Amino acid sequence: MYKIPSLPSSDKKPRAIAILTSGGDSPGMNPAIRGVVRAALHKGIKVYGVTKGYSGLIIGDMTEMNSASVTNIVQRGGTLLKSDRCLAFKDPAVRHQAAMVLKEKDIDALIVIGGDGSLTGAHLLTQENNINVIGLPGTIDNDIYGTDDTIGFDTAVNTALDAIDKIRDTALSHESLFLVEVMGRNSGFIATHVGIACGAEMVVVPEYETKAETICFQLANNRLLGKGASGIIVVAEGQTPGLTTHLANVLAQHQLEAKVCILGHIQRGGSPSGHDRVLASCLGAAAVDYLCAGYNDVMIGVRDSIITDTPLKQVIEKNKKLDDAFFQLALLLHK
């Protein structure tokens, strides 16, 4: 349950808005779209759905949405509006073109659901052009400053857990050790949550160095405690492809045989969890409220259970930190 702020009235209510999803898709983008559309229609605002993110925006690929456009999508993974990574949008001229498209259609504002790169595009669009933008954090990685939770993170954690619960069946049956790679190039949010939640023997994340010796020592110690020879080590993918396979090779040099599982793209899809559906619905509806209250160039997120705004500039420039005490808990509990 989120606390939804009561915003001051303003005369800034847009007549028409556009909405797009951008970057890697994440489960919950659909309920976020639904939240925006239903809330906007409720206030008498026209809504245009843009196809394929910024790529569609540039060429004006959008259609007006009504209440029925978002019926029966709340439970669907992926994004109804499709998504894209649009490199062209890094060019100011292309962003200007996008602004022209919106103005020609009398669209006052744009709501962008996506990750860091997508929100950077939104920030530049409004800075350079007279178009209001609101961002929503849509990524499974949870590595967005200004919000405790991103849309899709909870589902990704549950999907990874589901997979690891299955892998543990085999680990226990064969008394074997598995290295399971989860998503997270720059951050260990998924890995740490998954590690605590699956009872991992160890969690390896980009934020902390983990020596192979530490893993070997830890596992040896667990066996002494009578916990059996099986084990799961959760590894965030990090920035170097092949990290987990490399780690397995290093462990092999320490006489510790481990199998590697890379969970990969299954973490992006699937029906959004209840948590993500509620979060996305609240943020989608709030995005419209903030627009109507005259806000611009902000991301709407949730901090300490309160729906709140953060300037996009901060969102882009600052990094969300993995809480140290929280990470230590993952290591403590496996003992």
CA dist 166 to 40, 171, 173, 198, Å? 43, 9, 11, 11
Nearer to a second copy, 176 or 296 (CB): 176
Residues 78 to 97: which contact a second copy by CB under 8 A?
78-79, 82-84
Known binding residue 223? Answer is: no
Note whether 148 binds a second copy by CB under 8 A. yes
Cα atoms in the 13 Å half-sphere on the side-chain side of 62: 28
Show the site string, 151-190: x = touches a second copy by CB under 8 A, - = not.
---x--xxxxx-x-xxxxxx-xxxx--x----------x-
CB 149 within 8 A of CB 305: no
What does the alpha-carbon distance between residue 145 and residue 125 come to, in Å, rounded to a whole number? 20
Q: Phi and psi dihedrals of 277, rounded to 5?
A: -70, -40
Position among 125, 261, 287, 316 found at the interface with a second copy (CB under 8 A): 261
> If binding means CB under 8 A, how many residues of this protein chain bind a second copy?
95
Per CB under 8 A, the list member of 131, 277, 287, 316 interacting with a second copy is: 277
Is 37 marked as binding a ligand? yes
298, 147 contact by CB (below 8 A): no
- 197 interacts with a second copy by CB under 8 A: yes
- Output the smallest distance, CB 83 to a second copy, in A: 5
Q: Does position 143 bind a second copy by CB under 8 A? A: no
Contact call for residues 112 and 22 (beta carbons, < 8 A): yes
Among residues 209, 225, 240, 255, the one that binds a second copy under rule CB under 8 A: 225
**304 annotated active-site:** no
Residue 78 annotated as binding site: no
Q: Judged by CB under 8 A, which of 18, 198, 202, 203 binds a second copy? A: 198
Select 21 or 126, whichever has its Cβ closest to a second copy. 21
Is residue 34 within 8 Å of 113, Cβ to Cβ? Answer: no
The set of residues, in sequence order, having a beta carbon less than 8 Å from that of 169 and lying 6+ positions away, is none
Quote the CA–CA distance of 320 and 17 in Å, as a whole number. Answer: 30
Measured from the CB atom, is 197 or 256 closer to a second copy?
A: 197
Active site residues: 141
